[in-house]
Structure 1
Amino acid sequence: MKLVHTSVKRPVGVIMIVLAIIALGLVSVRNLAVDLFPKIDLPIAVVATNYPDAAPEDVENLISRTIESAVSSVEGIDTVQSQSQSGASLVLMMFKNGTDLDQALLDVREKIDQVKAFLPETAGDPNILRFSPEAMPVMYVGLTGKDTAALTQVANDQIIPYFERQGGVASVTVEGAVTREIQLELDTAKMQQYGVSSGEIVQALNSTNNAASVGSVDKGNQNLQLRVTGEFESTDDIENTIIMTQAGATLHVKDVATVKDTYKDQTSASLVNGKESIVLSMMKQTDANTVEVAGNIKESLEEISSELGDAVELEVLIDTSEFIEMSVDSVVQNILIGGAISVFILLLFLKSIRATLVIGLSIPIALITTFALMYFTGQTLNVLTLGGLALGIGMMVDSSIVILENIYSYRKRGFSLFESATKGASELAPAVIASTTTTLVVFLPMVFVKGIASDLFMPLGLAVAFSLVASLVVAITVVPMLSSKLLSGAMKDNGRRYWFDRFLDLLRNKYSNGLKAVLKFRKTAITVVVIAIALSLALIPTIGAEFIPASDQGQAQISVETEVGSKVEYTQSIVEQVNGILTSYGDVIDISYVTVGGTSSNVASYTLQMVPAGEREQSTTEIVKEMDKDLRKIAGAKISANAMDGGMMSMGDPIQISLNGPEHEILRELSEEVVAEISTIDGVFNPTSSASEGIPQMQIHVYEEKAATYGLTEQQITSQIQMQFTGQLATTYRESGQELDVRLVYPEDKRSEMNDLEDMKIQTVTGVFIPLREVASFEEIQGPASLLRENQQAQMNVTSALVDRDLGSVVTDIETKLDGMNFPEGYTFAIGGQAEDMVESFGQLALALVFSIFLVYAVMAVQFENFLFPFIIMFAMPTSVIGVLGGLFITDIPLSIPGFIGIIMLAGIVVNNSIVLVDYINILRRRGMERKQAIIEAGRSRLRPILMTTLTTVLAMIPLGLALGEGAELQQPLAITIIFGLSVSTLFTLFFVPVMYTLLDDLTAKVTGRRKKEM
């Protein structure tokens, strides 16, 4: 090849190009972003709407259904789900893969604008958001020290604005803070005495608390703007606001109400390691890098802490970047170990430091070139792309090994260094290019794969492809050039017998004898291979399947749910008992952070951060199982503990069963039956239903006719009840740039008991007060906590975690259980969550595998200008199934997306050895050698490079296969498939491919001979 000759003739030019590439790569790697996973684009949009104090039924009927109907006609919509809970509606729109989400969001906004007028007046404007699995806090920071009120003020005035100015930080949210407001506590007796209603007080406050521009006036040469200033400047102004009664009398607000500068009733509290705290959640910008943002936050912590002094303490509770950095570090460490192993194998075979250096240089050059290509294509350094590089470490030297081996053979035959380098490299360059191309083309079908599988596989594939292309260029340019300059001494035979050479000679002789026997008993050999493949396929049911391997991230969650309707104080008493049990796990728990209340007063949610995996004997799952047993001993609450899946955060529960049908109540009963049924299945852990026990409700039925006799309507009565029990926002009060709500409330002792409701005084149009029970009746019922719908039909979900069993096997058992249940007519079930994603991804990857095999064959057909030889080479592929399935069975690892990706990559890798073998057989036959002798000679000659390339690839993957370090579980299935698949296929390549070569060659001879006779 001309490129080979040029590189050998112009070594200075090659060296300068290499140095330029290295410099570019080093600059690129410094600027590459670091993350845990590649960016995953999910075509999901969310519409969130507030409807204060509304029951879930009203939210569903008035908000959710309206929005569902509006957005269902948007182009590209696949599924519409809604969740209606007290005071809020959440509508999720899942679009088909390939949908332009930006355009879809514009269409959704247009549809929402069309139905805004049909929403209740008190409902907030719908917020339309793009959902992203990356929309998770980068870091949680605890704020402790003073009382909650003081901490809240410090957080709002100093800390939050400071952090939001840091690079990459999008927003900071606060949990456990209190909200200041001005409360006007009404005196009902005085209000009746003066004949004042709450509406008149609100009107007086609003009419007084305003400022307006009223024109302009000339004063000499000046034109003065006229502005009436009437805004409240202090709480004294609120107290002295004048109220005009219907009787014409005047009085002040302080005559009928007590003005209090206080805080809103706190419905939630945050505790860090048992101490009341405020927790700040740091959200990163969409295009920001997690590790970089976390670094910015940690640097800024020191500065803000020094400004706040000792009175306030800031502590990092959970830092998601730590696991990312540990995972990336472990992969880098595995890459270095793999590289060291590859270099050792080279040194063992080449028995020359110079020769090893020639080939070993291809690894750093290829790696650095890959970093540059990754930077310019917008990739990130994550556990998958680095896993691809770890896979490529051993493969990077394959092309160089084959080239150098042939250069060495020419040198032994007496050729000069220049001739050996040029002839040896040129002769096998086409075979090396073909073998590399077959590995590369397996990634092309991924263009047609959509969804999560594509988002995960493409970055890994690009990393491998970049490294292989770089190593190929190095093999046909740098290696011949260096060989012509450095290997004069390394290629001399000094007469000494190297022990490893004696071992290889013995191995060659054994292989030659074995190959002769196999060629003699071809039918027996084929039968053995077929039986081995059949036995390996029989292992599939015992291997199982999962979506993404879980990593031991060291995080766990504990959910505490007391009886629905319980007060926050009672829930906190249960939390204290939980804290008591967690103290016994103090040696493994680093941070314990709990939020009490929040979404509901009867709920508490813990987030636990364990110490690093290397500092504890048990895995997070094992710890959580023990913890769950201990926590279940606490009476008065439902408590469950689950490990957080570090494999795919925010990708849903492993098991999610969706029950659909017309009626929510029947779905509630079905969900409870499903939970009971699947609880008996091995591997199902803490199954839960989205149907809670229901919120206790007191329904008030207004006697419309009786109310009418007093001149009252149902709406008037409802507004007065709402005023007494929830208060009423009257106006706002500005102080030091802060805007505070001014709310009218009744005294606590007038709005807490059932008697307060029944004896409540309703004011008629004539000013007379009557008790509520005169015009209404009361009924206590159980109302739903939330209502779910999918595609405009009622839905209920059952979710479950997994323990000690693979996802595929558990799903199979669940489907069997559910098929045996008698669902009422019109009610169905569907399994979603990670199980659904797994099935979809496996289907797409299987299609990609089929196309990959076809492309590998097409590349070889073009290379050999023959349809037969590629077909012979392809027989190495089915033998890899034996290694893959056997390896997964031996290591007890289920098949997952990384494992499937490994199978696709094997389709391009396993044929490389066959290409080198068959190509050399053809070269020897063209030189006039007889077929059998050519096969045996080619086998003996190519055994050394085949062993070298296989061992460097396989042994370099062993650190990943052993899952050494944090987060290494993700690459383990990929490594196992490559290690076992390539090892077994190499063994069969050396024996089975020559057998198929002779059989198909005989068949070809018969066909061509028959044709000649016919002609």
Structure 2
Amino acid sequence: MERDGIPILIKQIAKVKKEIREEYVITTSDWHRAVLFNILKHPDANGVEVSKLVDNKLKEIRKSIPLDVKISKWYDLSDFVKRSLRGVGENILIGIIIISVFIFIFLRSVRASLSVIFIMPFSVILTFTAFKVLNLSLNVMTLGGLVASIGILVDNAIIVVENVVRHRSLGEKGDSSLVYAVTEVIYPMMGATITTVIVFIPFVFLTELSGVFFRPMVMVLASAICISFLLAVFITPSLTSIFISKESNIKKEGFILKKVKTGYSHILSFILNNLWIVFLFIALIVAISLFVYPHLKTGFLPVWDEGSIVLDYRAPPGTSLEETDRLMLQIEDVIKKIPDVRVYSRRTGYGLAHPHPAHEGDFLISLKDNRKKSTFEIITYLEKEVKKIFPEIEIELFQVLPDRLGDLTGKQKPVVVKVFGNDYEALKETAAKIKSEIENIKGLSGIRLGITESEPEFDIIVDRLNATRFGLTPEVISKYSKIIFWGEVSTRIKEGLRLVGVRVRYPVNYRNRINKIEDFLIYSPKAGYIPLKMVAKVEVRRGQSEITHENGSLMVSVLANIEGRALGSVINDLKSALKKINIPAGVSISLAGDYESQMKSFKELLSVTIFAIILIFTVLLFEFKSIKTSISILIGTICSISFIIFGLYLTDTPFDVSSFVGTITVLGILINNGILLIDFTERNRKKGLEIKNAILEAGKT
């Protein structure tokens, strides 16, 4: 450039300095600036195997990078999967050991016990084969189904072996006694197996998370039960023949079993002679269970200690990226003092709804496996410490997997209060009242309004009449405005093998004050350079809040997490608090979140339970061809639900979707005992025994 023939140097009208491109996102890890990236596996890929391949690739990369550059994983979902699988495997082993001990105690024969014990690994292996046939992956839910089926896997084998031992103890010899003993129990075992498996049919109709979680589990259970029956019929007799054919002296019954049988016979005889006790007992346990049920803790899904924490934060809207980063460095110091933290990462300035919300971000904190405190204790500590330092910053703490499950179901938080109406200001006012009212409810944390406040904005309002006089249009003024704030890459220079852009822009102190912005010069075809204020007005306004519609109505939500308390208890207190609030005309309230999902799942599972009972009754009718017999078996089985309620209450276990599914599963399993008892009773009746003696003999058998 030159003026009147005199060259004008750039340094005379501007400062030239080398800078990195303006940051809109800051990422850190372990108290250092970092570059973070996510690796997503293919839906059909093995997550654990993908993790191993990533580890191997990282080892190769580390060999070719500078020594002062560190590469590490800051979160690996496969770690949680591997811990869960390891825990399930240990439970399977413990289950096999316990079952083996009890089998020996009651059979009192090492050889006979081996006939059953050998069946367990065969059953497990064949069940794994069923995984492949049913296209099921090896995960926590399918292995959970396998753990639940460990006892079922040997039920049929125990029945076969025990009946063989019983016949041998009566002096019967040879293969003919073995064949007779097996055929004697095949029919009731088949009926019991069909009845148990048919209970699982209604689970096919479960939807959403309940279906995703528990459908694979019941498929494993059904497969295991069928495999158990087939092995008991075809393999167990052969093993029994091998193991006890040479055992000449089989004890009739051990001391423990003898005492159990004697006590059982006395109790059963007393009950049969006083049938009114049965009806009184049924009425009593039903009454007690109805009293206890309302006092049960309730929830949606089980809560587990995952070992990872997400900390979402929101500084006041308008906080710069640099200031937000400065505040977050102080939170990092809090995290650094927690000895159970293994690694963490932080993102500041990210978002989908807004290009660069500099005041938002999140931490992802991974804890050590051998930590001294639980994840929940660390969450409580972090929340208390951060609020103590920065009360003006909104934070939410939760584990990773529950948050992802919420994303899958579209639920923002475990507790959501939705406020509907057509007057947006009235909705915001009502939501604020609700937030204030529920803040003292024990178990609620991270309470906030579900309104996304935008950052303050500059509005450049064009005076169209004046702009036209100067030969300008709103589009041209908009282009100059962008140059004012963001500058423009006017050229590029070569630096090594790269082309580096040269951006021309105003200094920052000219871009953050209204009076300076209004004095910016823009070129007019009719008047040359004129200040921006001659054709436009600059104003600062609060950014527009996010507006949500649902089912054609405006909606504002109040969101909260649950901490250290069951969902049902929190919801009961929440409902009581909402009753105290004066709701304006035209405004309505509804509860959503985990409570809504729980109610929907419970409704589905109740339908499944009713359908399962109808199917059981139908099978019993076909098997026994007697309505009275079928009803008696069904009543005895349904009464067991009362004891499930007692168990949940005594162990302080929440009644959630998992417990509900377990209850339905137990119905199918417990009915086996009733089928076997009635079948042997009917056989004794055919031998000429009267009903009471027939029942007593069947019970002892």
The whole-number CA distance in structure 2 between the counterparts of 1:636 and 1:529 is: 57
Q: Residue in 1 aligned with 2:384?
A: 629
Q: What does residue 94 of structure 2 align with?
A: 337
State which of 263, 271, 274 in structure 1 corresponds to 2:28: 271
Residue 307 of structure 1 aligns to a residue in which SS?
coil
One-letter identity of the residue aligned with 2:349: G
Pairing 1:631-710 to 2, within 5 Å after superposition: 631-635=386-390, 637-644=392-399, 646=401, 649-651=404-406, 652=411, 653-692=413-452, 694-710=454-470
1:519 aligns to 2:241 (yes or no):
no
Name the amino acid aligned to 2:337.
S
Partners of 1:732 and 1:661 in 2: CA distance: 55
Distance across 2 between alignment mates of 1:740 and 1:915: 82
Instruction: Report the aligned-residue RMSD.
Output: 2.8
Give how far 1:403 is off. 1.4
Which of 663, 666, 673 does residue 906 from structure 1 map onto? 666
SS of residue in 1 equivalent to 2:676: helix
In the aligned structure 2, how far is the partner of 1:601 from the partner of 1:556? 22
| Alignment of structure 1 residues 571-970 onto 2, 5 Å | 571-585=324-338, 587-599=339-351, 600-612=357-369, 615-635=370-390, 637-644=392-399, 646=401, 649-651=404-406, 652=411, 653-692=413-452, 694-728=454-488, 745-766=505-526, 768-941=528-701
**Measured at CA, do residues 859 and 577 of structure 1 come closer, stay the same or move farther in structure 2, by a change above 3 Å?**
same
Structure 1 Cα separation of the partners of residues 175 and 492 of structure 2: 89
Structure 1 segment 281-296 matched on structure 2, within 5 A: 281-296=38-53
Paired AA for residue 573 in structure 2: D
* Inter-partner Cα distance in structure 2 for 1:920 and 1:933: 12
How far is the alpha carbon of 1:401 from its aligned partner?
1.1
How far apart, in 1, do the equivalents of 2:402 and 2:118 lie? 35
User: d(CA) in 2 for partners of 1:332 and 1:736?
Assistant: 57
Post-superposition Cα deviations, 1:424-447, rounded to whole Å, max 9, x if no partner, equal: 111110101111111111111122
Per-residue deviation, 1:739: 8.7
Q: 1:728 to 1:839 in 2, by over 3 A?
A: farther
Match for 1:442 among 187, 199, 206?
A: 199
Q: 1:312 is matched with which residue?
A: 69
Question: d(CA) in 1 for partners of 2:156 and 2:329?
Answer: 64
Structure 1 residue 297, shift from structure 2 partner: 0.4
Are 2:258 and 1:505 aligned?
yes
Are the structure 2 counterparts of residues 733 and 448 from structure 1 closer, same or farther at C-alpha, using a change threshold of 3 Å?
Answer: farther
CA–CA distance in 1 between the matches of 2:80 and 2:342? 14
1:442 and 1:905 in contact (8 A); partners too = yes
State the partner residue of 2:231: 474
Q: How does 1:123-142 map to 2 (within 5 A)?
A: none
- Counterpart code for 1:630: E
CA-CA distance at 1:260 after TM superposition: 7.6
What is the CA–CA distance in structure 2 between the aligned matches of 1:629 and 1:254, rounded to whole Å?
A: 53
Deviation digits for residues 870-889 of structure 1, max 9, x if unmatched? 21111122321221111111
- SS across alignment from 2:557: strand
CA 1:311 to 1:502, structure 2 compared with 1: closer, same or farther past 3 Å? closer
Per the TM alignment, residue 642 of structure 1 is displaced from its structure 2 partner at its CA by 1.7
Identity of matched residues, %: 27
Give the alignment partner of residue 348 of structure 1, picking from 105, 111, 117.
105
Displaced runs of 4+ in structure 1, greater than 6 A? 250-261, 729-742
Shift of 1:491: 5.7
Mapped to 2, the partners of 1:741 and 1:824 lie a distance apart of 58
Paired position in structure 2 for 1:405: 162
Amino acid in structure 1 at the alignment position of 2:372: E
Q: Does 1:535 align with 2:292?
A: no
> Residues 300 and 657 of structure 2 are in contact (CA less than 8 Å); yes or no, is this contact kept in structure 1?
yes
Alignment of 1:146-225 (within 5 A): none
Aligned-pair CA distance for 1:931: 1.1
Q: Whole-Å Cα distance in 1 between the matches of residues 446 and 60 of structure 2?
A: 44
**Structure 1 unaligned runs (5+)?**
1-189, 195-249, 942-1015
Q: Distance in 1 between matches of 2:502 and 2:204?
A: 58
- On the 8 A contact 1:549/1:896 being kept in 2, the answer is yes
Deviations, residues 612-671 of structure 1 (Å, cap 9, x unaligned): 2xx233221122212221221214731535231645733242112233333544433333
The residue that corresponds to 2:121 in the other structure is: 364
Structure 2 CA distance, aligned partners of 1:305 and 1:687?
44
Q: Which string of whole-angstrom CA distances, capped at 9 and with x for unpartnered residues, describes residues 719-759 of structure 1?
A: 32122113357799999998987765444454233332121
2:75, 2:366 within 8 Å by CA — same for their partners in 1? yes
Change in Cα spacing, 1:809 to 1:925, as seen in structure 2 (3 Å) is same
Q: Contact conserved, 2:638 with 2:667, CA < 8 A, in 1?
A: no
Identify the match of residue 243 of structure 2 among 482, 486, 495.
486
For residues 307 and 334 of structure 1, the distance between their equivalents in structure 2, rounded to whole angstroms, comes to: 43
Check the 8 A contact 2:160/2:185 in 1, yes or no. yes
Distance 1:640 1:683 in 2: 16
C-alpha distance 374-556 of structure 1, shift in aligned 2 (>3 A) = same
Alpha-carbon distance in structure 2 between the residues aligned to 1:468 and 1:636: 57
One-letter code of the match for 2:142?
Answer: T
- TM-superposed deviation, 1:489: 3.5
Aligned to 2:354: none
Structure 2 CA distance for aligned equivalents of residues 811 and 741 of structure 1: 57
The change in CA–CA distance for 1:338 and 1:706 in structure 2 (over 3 A counts) is: same
* Correspondence for 1:6: none
3-state DSSP class of the match of 1:922? Answer: helix
Aligned length in residues: 689
Is the 8 Å Cα contact of residues 680 and 698 (structure 2) preserved in structure 1? yes
Contact 2:30 2:343 in 1 (8 A): yes
Distance 1:823 1:710, change over 3 A: farther
Moved more, 573-582 or 268-277: 573-582
Query: Do residues 431 (structure 1) and 191 (structure 2) align?
Result: no
Distance 1:515 1:376 in 2: 45
SS at match of 2:75: strand
Q: Assess, with a 3 A threshold, how the Cα gap between structure 1 residues 880 and 739 changes in structure 2: closer, same or farther.
A: farther
Distance 1:543 1:373, change over 3 A: same
Provide the C-alpha distance between the structure 2 equivalents of 1:840 and 1:781, rounded to a whole number of angstroms.
43
Give the counterpart letter for 2:397 in structure 1: N
Cα separation, partners in 2 of 1:730 and 1:439, compared to 1, 3 Å: farther
Match of 2:173 among 408, 416, 420: 416
TM-score (norm 2): 0.92
Q: Alpha-carbon deviations, 1:583-632, whole Å to 9, x = none?
A: 331x11111222222332222421111112xx233221122212221221
Give, in whole Å, the separation in 2 of the partners of 1:649 and 1:491.
62
Q: Which amino acid aligns with 1:794?
A: L
Return the letter of the residue paired with 1:384.
M
Question: Which amino acid in 2 is paired with 1:801?
Answer: N
Q: Could you say which residue in structure 2 is the equivalent of 1:324?
A: 81
Contact conserved, 1:562 with 1:636, CA < 8 A, in 2? no
Tell me which residue corresponds to 1:551. 304
Q: Structure 2: where are the runs of 5+ without partners?
A: 352-356
